[in-house]
Amino acid sequence: DGGITQSPKYLFRKEGQNVTLSCEQNLNHDAMYWYRQDPGQGLRLIYYSQIVNDFQKGDIAEGYSVSREKKESFPLTVTSAQKNPTAFYLCASSISDLRDGTEAFFGQGTRLTVV
Protein backbone atom coordinates (compact mmCIF):
# COMPACT_ATOMS: atom_id res chain seq x y z
CA ASP A 1 0.00 0.00 0.00
CA GLY A 2 1.14 3.55 -0.69
CA GLY A 3 1.77 5.73 2.29
CA ILE A 4 4.10 7.57 4.57
CA THR A 5 5.81 5.76 7.41
CA GLN A 6 7.46 7.15 10.49
CA SER A 7 9.55 5.10 12.84
CA PRO A 8 9.77 4.45 15.65
CA LYS A 9 6.40 5.36 17.14
CA TYR A 10 7.93 6.00 20.56
CA LEU A 11 11.51 7.04 21.21
CA PHE A 12 13.37 7.73 24.43
CA ARG A 13 16.74 9.43 24.63
CA LYS A 14 19.01 10.84 27.25
CA GLU A 15 19.54 14.56 27.38
CA GLY A 16 22.51 15.69 25.30
CA GLN A 17 22.25 12.90 22.73
CA ASN A 18 21.39 13.45 19.11
CA VAL A 19 18.54 11.34 17.77
CA THR A 20 17.33 10.74 14.22
CA LEU A 21 13.68 10.22 13.33
CA SER A 22 12.87 8.31 10.18
CA CYS A 23 10.31 9.27 7.54
CA GLU A 24 9.77 7.24 4.37
CA GLN A 25 7.13 7.63 1.68
CA ASN A 26 6.31 5.55 -1.38
CA LEU A 27 3.82 8.01 -2.84
CA ASN A 28 6.35 9.42 -5.31
CA HIS A 29 5.91 12.82 -3.73
CA ASP A 30 8.57 15.44 -4.29
CA ALA A 31 7.76 17.57 -1.25
CA MET A 32 8.23 16.47 2.35
CA TYR A 33 7.78 18.24 5.67
CA TRP A 34 8.53 17.90 9.36
CA TYR A 35 6.25 19.33 12.03
CA ARG A 36 6.44 19.45 15.78
CA GLN A 37 3.37 19.31 18.00
CA ASP A 38 3.34 20.06 21.72
CA PRO A 39 0.44 19.10 24.00
CA GLY A 40 -2.68 21.11 23.23
CA GLN A 41 -0.92 22.99 20.46
CA GLY A 42 -1.15 23.09 16.71
CA LEU A 43 1.54 21.93 14.31
CA ARG A 44 4.66 24.02 13.80
CA LEU A 45 6.82 23.60 10.73
CA ILE A 46 10.44 22.59 11.36
CA TYR A 47 11.86 21.93 7.89
CA TYR A 48 10.51 21.24 4.44
CA SER A 49 11.95 19.95 1.21
CA GLN A 50 10.59 20.57 -2.25
CA ILE A 51 12.96 18.28 -4.08
CA VAL A 52 15.87 15.93 -3.54
CA ASN A 53 19.02 17.58 -2.22
CA ASP A 54 17.16 20.73 -1.28
CA PHE A 55 15.47 21.77 1.95
CA GLN A 56 14.41 24.95 3.69
CA LYS A 57 14.00 26.00 7.30
CA GLY A 58 10.52 26.31 8.68
CA ASP A 59 9.45 28.37 11.65
CA ILE A 60 11.32 26.47 14.37
CA ALA A 61 14.40 24.98 12.72
CA GLU A 62 16.89 25.76 15.49
CA GLY A 63 18.31 22.62 17.04
CA TYR A 64 17.20 20.39 14.16
CA SER A 65 18.81 19.17 10.97
CA VAL A 66 17.56 17.25 7.95
CA SER A 67 18.81 15.62 4.79
CA ARG A 68 17.10 14.73 1.54
CA GLU A 69 19.40 12.36 -0.32
CA LYS A 70 16.57 10.27 -1.70
CA LYS A 71 13.12 11.24 -2.88
CA GLU A 72 11.42 8.80 -0.56
CA SER A 73 13.32 9.64 2.61
CA PHE A 74 13.52 12.77 4.78
CA PRO A 75 15.13 11.99 8.15
CA LEU A 76 15.08 14.54 10.95
CA THR A 77 17.88 14.79 13.50
CA VAL A 78 17.08 16.34 16.85
CA THR A 79 20.39 17.67 18.11
CA SER A 80 21.56 18.42 21.62
CA ALA A 81 21.15 22.10 20.77
CA GLN A 82 17.36 21.74 20.81
CA LYS A 83 16.37 23.06 24.23
CA ASN A 84 13.02 21.31 24.56
CA PRO A 85 13.10 18.24 22.33
CA THR A 86 10.33 16.27 24.00
CA ALA A 87 7.37 16.47 21.60
CA PHE A 88 5.27 14.68 19.02
CA TYR A 89 6.93 14.83 15.58
CA LEU A 90 4.96 14.51 12.37
CA CYS A 91 6.22 14.00 8.84
CA ALA A 92 4.15 14.79 5.77
CA SER A 93 4.50 14.67 2.01
CA SER A 94 2.72 16.12 -1.00
CA ILE A 95 3.14 16.49 -4.72
CA SER A 96 5.25 19.48 -5.53
CA ASP A 97 3.69 21.03 -8.54
CA LEU A 98 1.61 24.12 -8.09
CA ARG A 99 -1.66 22.86 -9.44
CA ASP A 100 -4.47 23.94 -7.21
CA GLY A 101 -5.93 21.87 -4.46
CA THR A 102 -3.26 19.32 -3.72
CA GLU A 103 -3.27 17.76 -0.28
CA ALA A 104 -0.67 16.54 2.17
CA PHE A 105 -0.42 13.05 3.63
CA PHE A 106 0.82 12.65 7.17
CA GLY A 107 2.60 9.84 8.92
CA GLN A 108 1.44 8.54 12.29
CA GLY A 109 4.05 10.45 14.19
CA THR A 110 6.96 9.75 16.52
CA ARG A 111 6.65 10.66 20.17
CA LEU A 112 10.09 11.62 21.42
CA THR A 113 10.81 11.79 25.13
CA VAL A 114 14.13 13.10 26.35
CA VAL A 115 15.01 12.29 29.92
Partner 1 sequence: DAKTTQPPSMDCAEGRAANLPCNHSTISGNEYVYWYRQIHSQGPQYIIHGLKNNETNEMASLIITEDRKSSTLILPHATLRDTAVYYCIVRVGAFSGGYQKVTFGTGTKLQVIP
Task: Output 6 or 82, the one with its CB closest to partner 1.
Answer: 6
The span from the CA of 85 to the CA of 33, in Å, is 17
Q: How far is the CB of 59 from partner 1 (least distance, A)?
A: 7
Q: How far is CA 57 from the centre of its chain?
A: 12
Q: How far is the CB of 110 from partner 1 (least distance, A)?
A: 10
Task: Output 48 or 64, the one with its CB closest to partner 1.
Answer: 48
Which residues make up the interface to partner 1 (CB under 8 A)?
Answer: 4, 6, 30-31, 33, 35, 40-45, 48, 50, 56, 58-59, 88, 90-92, 94-109, 111
CA angle 70, 76, 77 (to 5 degrees): 125
Task: Output 78 or 92, the one with its CB closest to partner 1.
Answer: 92
The span from the CA of 1 to the CA of 44, in Å, is 28
Q: How far is the CB of 33 from partner 1 (least distance, A)?
A: 7
Q: How far is the CB of 65 from partner 1 (least distance, A)?
A: 18
